[in-house]
Amino acid sequence: MYGFISFYITRKLGGAAVEANAFFGGILLYEIMVRGTLAMLVMFMEELWSRNLGHLFASPLRLRDYVGGIIIISFIRTSIAVTPAFILTYFLFGFSILSLGWPLLLYVFLLFMNAWWYGLLVIALILRFGLAAEWLGWMSLWLMSPFVAPYYPVSILPLGFQVVSWSLPATYIFESMKSLTLQGDLRLDYLLTAFGLNAFYFVIAGFIISRAFQGARRRGGLLQMGE
């Protein structure tokens, strides 16, 4: 849908094809972040719905083992899910994500990092407030989309939005991608900033989910939450 809209706008207004390519790149890369978080949330919710979370942690399984497992499965599921989209984009619109070259590896790695710490925060939210917060967990997957500016430059956002936008690592990734596509400038400084922010938020997310998990265990929430 976004691809056909982009084609319509660029043809109607006489936009350059390279601008459409930047738009396609934003769509595909943003899906990596969304799907990475979604995969983690779905796996966690499946354990809650089946009332299996308490049984898991009655075993010698530790929280860090569980988190490591859902991160790995999230990577595998997301890779499988987005590959058809990459292929279809090439045949329908003539845009190959591989045209980004070796920087694509950096973009994918950093976006997965962003997806994982954000997924941990969403899971911590549900651990703390229970299934009453489930709707907020699903909604939060798209909460960041206006701020990280995957389809447009950050400069068009209102000033208050820009402050939030520049505090998110994904913003720097998408700005680097757009700079590479439109001007041929990779902007490694943006990617280094994105890595630093991701690492910082990952530590914070790890601390928050650890506290939320311990709180849920103390009040018996691991056994009580379920359909």
Burial 110-123, CB ≥16 within 10 A → b, else e: bbbbbbbbbbbbbb
- Asked if the model's pLDDT at residue 18 lies above 70, the reply is no
Q: Are 56 and 47 in contact (CB under 8 A)?
A: yes
110-124, 173-187, 197-211, range with the lowest pLDDT: 173-187
| pLDDT tens by residue, 164-187 | 999 999 999 999 998 998 888 889
| pLDDT tens by residue, 74-104 | 999 999 999 998 998 888 878 888 888 899 9
Q: Are 133 and 55 in contact (CB under 8 A)?
A: no
Res 140: pLDDT? 78
Question: Which pTM was predicted?
Answer: 0.87
Question: Distance between CA 156 and CA 159 in Å, rounded?
Answer: 9
In degrees and rounded to multiples of 5, residue 15 shows phi and psi of: -70, 155
| pLDDT tens by residue, 129-149 | 877 777 777 887 788 888 998
Amino acid identity, residue 227?
E
- Asked if the model's pLDDT at residue 16 lies above 70, the reply is no
Instruction: Say how many domains are in the chain.
Output: 1
Domain that holds residue 37: 2-224
Tokens at 68, concatenated: 């490591």
Res 173: pLDDT? 95
Stretch 181-204: mean pLDDT = 93
Q: What percent of the chain has pLDDT over 70?
A: 89
